[in-house]
Structure 1
């Protein structure tokens, strides 16, 4: 006779058996036996011995990846070169070779691995006052700055020849081009059918977000709180003006390109529309917007090692606990009038004990820019020679300062800056409140962005006032909310500063993708050593798309404007909704008409009957 047990008894017996397996006769739990008993509920392949786990592979074979990377910049200087150089430094440590084309004589001890090809003397705005004086002294606008394009176009062939000679000698497999006025870099890559990557401190202009603009266009960086008229002007009218104003210079450049067999382009980003674009910025500082996969925000790109504070600066800071660092970068200058106002503000701020020390970097500022004397509010006069010769115990001037190291010092309490992107990043990284005096280019937008994050205040180069400067210096030190925001942004900046590693990874991926798709060999470089050979080269009419990253290109770019934006689908939907609404309105009108007509007919019949009775 088979014993039949209820389900509850069966479960009880199973649990009792497991208990007996896991315990000895005295009721003590046996861990090893218990673990083995419970493994009946796990797959046979599971192994919980931690010593037998295999590590997840994270690296890949680089043996067959091309190794030569050429950096290019029209302006040069660390503000334009640092992002590309920092990425290349990582790649150099991974076994890649790096060369660079830029103006000046590049001798940076942090990048000894770079082979340099010079395009000429170091770029100095002081040498071209007919262009830069208006930009730096008067109110800056993008439309005034277009005059720089004429200068760039006039030097295009010389720079192109330098790139071709560098390519012939170095044989690059990829071009990493600083985006600003650097068409020669993109064109060389196109001519050689090599992949290129654009890199800039700003997001590429092809990313149209109507709620974002730029003070250089006469608009605000963030249009969120602007009126309808301002939003319409900045989203519609201003872009049309930009396109129209730029056509003249692009046509001029295309005519020069035609003389050496380089295909024309309609805009500055056409060569790189299907490849990576690295932006040395980050959301939080930048107004947030949607980005396609090919556009990578990699900022803030910071050096891993910086020059230490020299004994001179260390001694000065030891005696001054509330020091302000003053630096206006290497590419802009301020007027002698504003220099006098700033110097008066510094002296009076020290006299009022708002701050107790000033360190001033005098790059792009000469002794002749200073007035001979400074008149203070109390009627006294200060000789500027004493300040320039560092005879004033509270003001130290120097042509060069270790900016990051000073900002990172406890006794540097605030930073008076031109709001360049590199300086802004360093201030955010060190949680140093900033007083901005923007001069030109992207500096007005950076100043607005810093002020929007709550870590900075802004001055106007057209209306500098001593009392305004002093009051803002004081507020930046005493406002607790500014200190809180500085700490918050510091953490965000430090988290995002790690992304240059990802940028290096993306460069490697593009090198691999181009290698797998390319049929070129090194012999292509031999015929392109000078411009005369470029003109006669048969490949001048060949098409090159620079597209190796189809898996990262969003489908809408291949679908056309109407299909890509799904305007056809939404148009049909809108048409259907309008038809339904129209039908409903027509039916309601028809029913209402029938009802009204019926009522009217009824009333007429009643009135007629009453008349007959009378």
Structure 2
């Protein structure tokens, strides 16, 4: 049976979002490499380190300079002001989007030059959802692509039972148990977002026009390429998908680093540990950090609650802490606490997260609900408390809550007492529902995690289709794209047939009324 030739060249492109955006794509690339294909990686300067655990990568292409640390910090501080609500501005959301897309002006020409060089041109590009330049390359240079999303794509694939724009919802994910007011709020969000969105679109057009590109990217309800979602139904609300959108997550490595000696020692001493990690880029205020510390301290002082805390915090996130302030409910400064003044609280800049989540002494995970942390918590079957900060973290927190494995706290309004109560409720689990749902979701996730091999299969399939269509030269569209995306809306939705049917119906009514009336007039 003829399949793709070995040594086919695949290019993985990731520019923004951090290592967690690159890892799922590199895990799929590992499978393609094992099948004999060539894998190259394209990114911004300084991000080559993301590939250090992937020795199969044959070449790294630098697409341009990276943002400075200062610009990155300011951007993520801006993102941390993200808030969905009828009384909140959408400007921080769109400003965050600008930051994540601002590298387009260097990435697009670099990627264009790469694919126009016969010696470097790839057969297929696998891109992260933040790299719009990959979609430009598909259009201009006829190279098939697959785009990776950490969740079901935002504001795409609408469903009547999902109110508002998917991924930008308030309070509810579906209309099933939503009130009329909640559903209305989600639809009103779109109207409130319109001014900020139009300003963003104007910025995007100006950015593209500076390079002589006056064509906008297609903005349709369904994609015209392969779209791989690093999530699964059970976490995501179930919905109908077109054939070229496939849930293939959670995409996780088969192996992961073990605990460090210090963590081994700490987890050996305590049996009910609260693990806190708000990620690298989710920056919350000093006030929120102190409320978290206060809530954890209250739980430590509660009988039959947690007996230890591990807090992973580093870099920009640690800078938000006022280290000179007195630690809540303790007789030392936060700086002293970070330096291990309290033997029950262990601060560290980095932890091997999967090893910690898998450890039996870790009972509760306080997380920002980032995509990787969400998938890892579910895969290892640990209950969580979520404090979402921005973008997909907000919806992930609701998904975990609705799946019955998490308690959701509002970033701006939660109190230390509420956090302590959430920890105690998670541990006591009086009905057993948290434990049962963690096991249920873990089993689903572990089965679904095998679909990373399906992702590799689909990439090979999409390439086989693209190569065959190019040889045939008959203008055939991608085999997984539904026909309605190539038709006018009136034809795709049969409006002309409905109009014809309505006309015939009205004509029939007219005949029924007119004939007796004409007969009486003749008499």
> TM-score normalised by the shorter chain: which range applies?
0.7 to 0.9
Q: 1:92 aligns with which of 29, 33, 36?
A: 33
- Residue number in structure 2 paired with 1:474: 424
- Give the superposition deviation at 1:514: 2.2
Structure with bigger helix share is 1
The CA distance in 1 between the partners of 2:195 and 2:290, in whole Å, is: 40
User: What is the match of residue 599 of structure 1?
Assistant: none
Distance 1:572 1:482, change over 3 A: farther
- Deviation at residue 291 of structure 1 after TM alignment: 0.3
Question: In the alignment, is residue 289 of structure 1 matched against residue 233 of structure 2?
Answer: no
1:124 and 1:456 map into 2 onto residues whose CA distance is 36
CA separation of 1:280 and 1:161: change in aligned 2, threshold 3 A:
same
> Residue in 2 aligned with 1:437?
387
Task: From 135, 140, 145, give the equivalent of 1:196.
Answer: 145
Contact 1:124 1:331 (8 Å CA) reproduced = no
Residues 285, 450 of structure 1: 8 Å contact kept: yes
Matched with 1:358 is: 309
Matches of 2:208 and 2:66, distance apart in 1: 25
Q: Which residue of 2 aligns with 1:113?
A: 56
CA contact (8 A) 2:380 2:442 kept: yes
Aligned mates of 2:444, 2:510 — CA distance in 1: 53
Distance 1:208 1:368 in 2: 38
Matched residue of 1:359: which SS? strand
Q: Summarize the Cα distance change of 1:557–1:137 in structure 2 as closer, same or farther, 3 Å threshold.
A: closer
**Post-superposition CA distance 1:507-542 (Å, at most 9, x none):** 11122222233369xxxxxxxxxxxxxxxxxxxxxx
How big is the shift at 1:239? 4.1
Scaled by the length of structure 1, what TM-score is found? 0.74
How many Å apart are 1:456 and its aligned residue? Answer: 0.2
Partner residue in 2 for 1:67:
8
> Over alpha carbons, which structure has the higher Rg?
1
> How far apart in 2 are the matches of 1:568 and 1:268?
25
Correspondence for 1:157: 105
Q: Residues 203 and 389 from structure 1, CA distance in 2 versus in 1: closer, same or farther, beyond 3 angstroms?
A: same
CA deviations over 1:376-414 (Å, ceiling 9, x no partner): 55xx52332332112421111111110111101111111
Specify the alignment match of 1:246 in structure 2. 197
Measure the CA separation in 1 of the matches of 2:151 and 2:320.
34
Contact kept? 1:250, 1:267, Cα under 8 Å? no
Aligned 1:145-544 pairs, distance under 5 A: 145-151=93-99, 154-167=102-115, 168=117, 170-180=120-130, 182-204=131-153, 205-212=155-162, 213=165, 216=168, 218=170, 220-232=172-184, 234-235=186-187, 237-239=188-190, 242=193, 245-262=196-213, 264-267=215-218, 273-353=223-303, 354-363=305-314, 364-366=316-318, 369-374=321-326, 376=328, 381-479=331-429, 480-518=432-470
Post-superposition offset of 1:230: 4.3
Q: Which runs of 5+ in 2 are unaligned?
A: none
RMSD, matched Cα: 3.2
Comparing 308-317 with 481-490, greater Cα deviation is found at 308-317
1:439 to partner: Cα distance: 0.5
Kept in 2: contact 1:125–1:332 (CA 8 A): no
Unaligned residue ranges in structure 1 (runs of 5+): 1-58, 521-543, 595-614
Moved more, 148-157 or 426-435: 148-157
Q: Name the structure 2 match of 1:554.
A: 482
Counterpart contact for 1:343–1:374, Cα < 8 Å:
no
Query: How far has the Cα of 1:574 moved from its partner?
Result: 5.3
Contact 1:300 1:497 in 2 (8 A): yes
Cα pair distance change 1:183/1:550, threshold 3 Å: closer
User: Do 1:327 and 1:362's aligned partners in 2 also have CA atoms closer than 8 Å?
Assistant: yes
Higher mean C-alpha deviation, range 341-350 or range 494-503: 341-350
